[in-house]
Chain A
Amino acid sequence: MKIKVCYILWFALSLGLASCELDNYEAPDSSLKGRIVYNGEPINVGYDQVYFELWEPGWQEKSPINVVVDQDGSFSALLFNANYKLIIPASQGPFISNPNDATQSDTILVNLNGNQTLDIEVTPYYMIRNPQFSVSGRTVSANFGLEKIITDANAKDVERVSLYVNKTYFVDLGNNIAATNINGGDIADMNNISLSVEAPAITPAQNYVFARVGVKISGVEDMIFSPIEKVQIQ
């Protein structure tokens, strides 16, 4: 009798092992990588703030795959090979999607077959030009210009410009240890904006911080940022 139980257990084990292969799908292995760009320049956005959707037509149940855009405007996703429709929801990003010829709309067709790199051209409301960071003691200063890209009926005003400083590489509205703002109406010269803020004491002590400037556009939820700069402090 004892032997029989043992056989059953072995049988069950082999069944269990075998089922691994039977009921599992292959993992997705094609990567879609790229950046959100304007004339080839990446659009920097907040951490975990901007995403776009990939829809795969042909299935009975429709549900998008959300792809999050990183702070430097890049994205990457591991996917199955398929024909996807890429849509940036209107509420996402400090930019307007460009229409393309293939679909006569802002939907982008992505025929994924193996690894692919795709830069998505969009039109931002503003671009941050020539950001310069400097430090004196613990005070981080930034100087930059703002270029208004959209000037037609869709143009929007600047609500505020902000300088953010953080002790880690995540720097934006919600991730900072120091921040300072200038309201849009108080900006005298769009080509020469200066902001400075003092970094508070950091525990455990570190002699560097990360900084970047951002622009909040009125009526647009997501901010556009400069690239993140690592600066030495005292």
Chain B
Amino acid sequence: MKKYIFIILSGLLAFSSGCDDEEFLAREPRNILLDEQIWQDETLVLSVLGDLYGRMPDYQSITQWGSYADFDEAFASAFGDYWRHRNTEYGFGEWSYWDYGYIREINLFIQKAEAATELSEADRARFVAEARFIRAGVYFELVKRMGGVPLILEPMTYDFSGDPSYLRHPRAKESEIYDFVISELEAVKSTLPADINTKSRATKGAALAMQARAALYAGSIAKYGQRTPSVSLPGGEVGIPADRAEGYYQTALKAAQEVMTLGYSLYKKKPDLGENFASLFYDKDNNPEAIFVEDYKTKSGKVHNWTIVNQPRYQAEEQEGGRINPSLNLVQSFEKLDNTYAPLPIQDANGNLIHYSDPTDLFAGRDARLWGTVILPGTQFKGKEVDIWAGFMLPNGNVVSSGGFGGRGDVNGDGIEEQVVGFSGPIDNLEFSAQTGFYIRKYMDPQPGSGQRGVQSDVWWIRYRYGEVLLNAAEAAFELGQKDLAAEYMNQVRERAGLIIPLTAADITFDRIVHERKVELAFEGHQLWDMKRWRLAHIVWDGTRMTVNDLLTGIGEAEDPSTMVFGMWPYKFYDGNGDPNQAEWNDWVFKIVLPSQVTNPDRFRLGNYYSEINDGIVNNNPLIVRNPNQ
């Protein structure tokens, strides 16, 4: 009986609320904002735009540390990432990117912003310009990775007719995507504010910097694409005709020169040039060099763990760190102050080890950017010695070391144990130790707490900076035959690094351009794209095994193969006299090592130049042609 009453009651209840269907179903939702509510308030629009900004893609960045170890810049000192040095080739699908959901949302934003009547004209124009800037950036990212892609500029809608084939679009030519990026940025640059203190929103400077970079990429693909004629498609989806190179280079130079008129300048706040270069990346206070950044803020939820995962093991605020170990390949390519290249002098002409009284002496007289990019043995981080040394070396060549951080052993046989290895390693095969003998400095946050999981770091990620604009201008000028101009721009960047002997026009070669970008822009996510556009990737990462001799020759040459990452370990040399713990009884010697986890050379195949468009995408849209050589 009870059951029946219950059923009847619930039936009544259902009908009672159903009286006014219209009103019931048309209630305003309380958990989301509707379009009409958003598009009348500029702060709400800005938060929608903030979401779009936050999704701009990067391949290598401070939130993607592991990808820095994919090539020859660094070794990955973490158990789960050793595969990066064991693989024999790169998969065709690596670095692929295909995010048309994001593009649709940007297109929707532009469509709605253009129709929004409640906003002031100035706000509305700026929002549209910013969204077009983001969209240009996304297409630039797509064309870098995939070549020409379908150019979709309207939000597409399915009409539920059962036949979605009208939504299929073929790939545009590679040059058409670059042309689109360049013309979009040209169109919006004047609408965007020319304020150099706006860093995390699009500005005129950001638009021009992106335009310069895009035009430079297109120009070099047109020019150096001739090295690899098989990396092209008959429809132009991949490959740009050689005769267009000059036009692109002119666009790049013009855009870069326009950035130079806006008031940006190189960061030169600190007298110590190495320290100055390091703080360029973490100093967010009136930084004149940063043009467009992704910003972070502690206690806001938007923080990153770059410092946690990479801090030197000794001063780590958690039981981790030290994952990126810059390679000796990179370290030795920082040139000497007389503008020449040389391996680090660890042996004299007779093959005897050279003794140094201080480990940093080995690196003296080199490009200051080395200190700002890499944490070297014998230097400090957060006010504390990093303690990178591999053991004691005795006169007979024997080494006393230990397998644990700061491990102890008896060096001189007096029965007393002393510390025989640094608290940061290097210890082969021990994750978080400096397995190449180096740690990374760029973007490391010196703030206390930045290495704690509960706090993390709010150092920003600089996507575009003035130093790169100068190098872009130098490269474009060089390719246009204006070597004087190229030297002038390059010397500005080099002078900031302590290389005060200026390069002359005759010194500017293609190898110089390649080298300068390598050392200035290391760990900023440029390497892969640079190597691709110069068509150097398959030459430098050619899959041959390297010997130490290969490593030490060809420094500064653009085509020098560099397929395996080497390290250099410092040892304290102890000749049996005095107390091994005391610095005055020790010298320093160095040895080149190949980390035992580096088992295979990197091999970049011709099919890696443009990432594979996967079968799912091709099945959905048969108009998509596949990329070459896969």
Contact = CB atoms under 8 A, between A and B. Distances in A.
Nearest to A181: B544
Contacts of A48: 88
A91 B606 contact: yes
Interface string B596-630: 00001101011100000001101100000000111
A173 B618 contact: no
B168 interface: no
Given A91-B606, A221-B606, A221-B629, A174 B601 contact: yes
A219 B230 contact: yes
B543 A89 contact: no
A48, A173, A179, A219: most-surrounded residue (chain B CB, <10 A): A173
B88 A174 contact: yes
A91 B630 CA distance: 7
Given A91-B607, A219-B230, A62 B544 contact: no
B83 to A, nearest CB: 15
Contact of B545 (A63, A89, A90, A176): A176
A173 B607 CA distance: 18
Interface in A47-65: 48, 60-64
Interface string A192-220: 00000000000000000000000000010
A197 to B, nearest CB: 12
Contacts of B601: 174
Contacts of B615: 61-64
Interface residues on B, range: 20 to 34
B239 to A, nearest CB: 15
A70 B247 CA distance: 47
Interface residues of A, number: 15
A64 B615 CA distance: 9
Contacts of A63: 615, 619
A46 to B, nearest CB: 9
Main secondary structure of the interface of A (DSSP, over half): loop
B630 A179 contact: no
Contacts of A174: 88, 543-545, 600-601, 603
Nearest to B602: A174
B229, B545, B605: most-surrounded residue (chain A CB, <10 A): B545
Nearest to A49: B89
B545 A61 contact: no
Contact of B543 (A64, A173, A219): A173
Contacts of B607: 91
A61 B619 contact: yes
Contacts of B606: 91, 221
Interface in A177-191: 179
Contacts of B229: 219
Given A62-B619, A173-B543, A174-B543, A89 B88 contact: no
Contacts of A62: 615, 618-619
Given A61-B615, A174-B88, A179 B605 contact: no
Contact of B230 (A91, A173, A176): A91
A89, A90, A221: most-surrounded residue (chain B CB, <10 A): A221
Nearest to A222: B605
A61 B615 CA distance: 8
Contacts of A219: 229-230
A89 B618 CA distance: 17
Contacts of B545: 173-174, 176, 179
A174 B85 CA distance: 13
A57 to B, nearest CB: 13
Contacts of B629: 89-91, 221
Contacts of A60: 619
B224 to A, nearest CB: 15
Given A62-B619, A64-B615, 10 more contacts: A63-B619, A89-B629, A89-B630, A91-B607, A91-B630, A173-B603, A174-B544, A174-B603, A219-B230, A221-B606
17 contacts: A62-B619, A64-B615, A89-B630, A90-B629, A91-B230, A91-B628, A91-B630, A173-B544, A173-B545, A174-B543, A174-B544, A176-B545, A179-B544, A179-B545, A221-B538, A221-B605, A221-B606
A-B pairs with lowest CB-CB distance, top 6: A91-B629, A63-B615, A174-B543, A61-B619, A173-B543, A174-B88
